[in-house]
A = this chain, B = another copy of it.
């Protein structure tokens, strides 16, 4: 860390900041510029509270030198994290494609979709049993009944299942049915929930909040990792910007940037990232070309009857066409869709 003192800082101010730093076991390196004195902090700065230093007299601001994420960062974990889910590898050469309806709406409909997406080449079945909805009057999901239907679809198709968990006390229940726990965008900074999934032994997919920076996403991953769960995937699902033509703005830069900053697998959700089914296929292709490790895509047999998010769902036929179109792009970047 570096502390930039104000031009008006006194010798006493500098001495007092230095003393505070040394109190935490770090060493100090002074550098006097023409206008500002700069105090370099040497040692393990994690013990020092930057904000505290920033409000000491004579301090203009502090600058962090080290990255705040240690477990999630690549600096001390240079090799890619690769793990398997029911025999499917995530983070390796093989891309992982997750597909299914936004919400589980009923047994027959889900079984039909599960068969269809398996047929098209998907590796994981998605479907929400607990649904976060902006309005208290909207369909909130089937709850445990939805989980049971997902488990039945898994038994029938062999596809592992990913579904959202919305509260710490739901973790054991959801983990008893699902293979991957999904943390939704609205809960990316629900720290009680991150703590709970960090202590579970299930793989987690952590979605980026629509208002969250890359660094905040990695800090939320750090919560999960620091509680002992190392099987974490990150998911870019679009951020909120001033543009209103699309529901969200998919941050394609985040894909190669995350691949640089972290060893964790990076999944892209083009359904939420665009909000329009017509854009799902080209943006899926873009995500793979940019280096994503997988996709999570909403597929519904009859999108115009879907109970939520149908506007961004693909019909199974279009999903199949998309999967086919992904293969040459995957190959162009040294990956593969189908084993």
Measured between alpha carbons, how far is A71 from B235 in the docked complex, in Å? Answer: 35
Interface of chain A residues 13 through 40 with chain B (CB within 8 A): 29, 31-36, 38, 40
- Is A163 an interface position by the 8 A CB rule? no
Measured between alpha carbons, how far is A52 from B305 in the docked complex, in Å? Answer: 6
Measured between alpha carbons, how far is A190 from B138 in the docked complex, in Å? Answer: 15
- Is A288 an interface position by the 8 A CB rule? yes
Interface of chain A residues 149 through 164 with chain B (CB within 8 A): none
- Is A57 an interface position by the 8 A CB rule? yes
Across the interface, name the chain B residue whose C-beta is closest to A170: B192
Across the interface, name the chain B residue whose C-beta is closest to A219: B134
A98 to chain B, nearest CB (A): 20
A25 to chain B, nearest CB (A): 12
Across the interface, name the chain B residue whose C-beta is closest to A137: B46
Q: Are B286 and A257 in contact (CB under 8 A)?
A: no
Interface string of A179-223 (1 = CB under 8 A from B): 000000011011111000000000000000111111110010011
Greatest chain B CB density within 10 A among A170, A189, A214 is at A189
- Is A304 an interface position by the 8 A CB rule? yes
- A191-B133 contact in complex given A49-B307, A249-B249, A260-B278, C-beta closer than 8 Å: yes
Number of chain A residues close to chain B: CB under 8 A: 113
Residue of B56, B132, B260 near A191 (CB, 8 A) is: B132
- In the complex, chain B residues whose CB is within 8 Å of the CB of A308: 49, 51
Q: Are A4 and B65 in contact (CB under 8 A)?
A: yes
A168 to chain B, nearest CB (A): 6
- In the complex, chain B residues whose CB is within 8 Å of the CB of A277: 55
- In the complex, chain B residues whose CB is within 8 Å of the CB of A137: 46, 68, 226
- In the complex, chain B residues whose CB is within 8 Å of the CB of A33: 40-42, 65
Q: Are A214 and B286 in contact (CB under 8 A)?
A: no
Across the interface, name the chain B residue whose C-beta is closest to A215: B245
- Is A66 an interface position by the 8 A CB rule? yes
- Is A251 an interface position by the 8 A CB rule? yes
Q: Are A192 and B166 in contact (CB under 8 A)?
A: yes
Measured between alpha carbons, how far is A219 from B133 in the docked complex, in Å? Answer: 10
- Is A303 an interface position by the 8 A CB rule? yes
- Is A2 an interface position by the 8 A CB rule? yes
- Is A325 an interface position by the 8 A CB rule? yes
Residue of B192, B210, B214 near A245 (CB, 8 A) is: B214
Q: Are B243 and A136 in contact (CB under 8 A)?
A: no
A287 to chain B, nearest CB (A): 7
Q: Are B333 and A285 in contact (CB under 8 A)?
A: yes
Q: Are B245 and A242 in contact (CB under 8 A)?
A: no
- In the complex, chain B residues whose CB is within 8 Å of the CB of A212: 211
A251 to chain B, nearest CB (A): 5
A-B contact pairs, 20 of them (CB 8 A): A51-B309, A51-B310, A52-B306, A55-B313, A56-B304, A57-B304, A134-B216, A136-B219, A137-B226, A167-B192, A186-B189, A214-B245, A215-B245, A239-B242, A241-B241, A241-B251, A246-B253, A253-B273, A285-B289, A285-B290
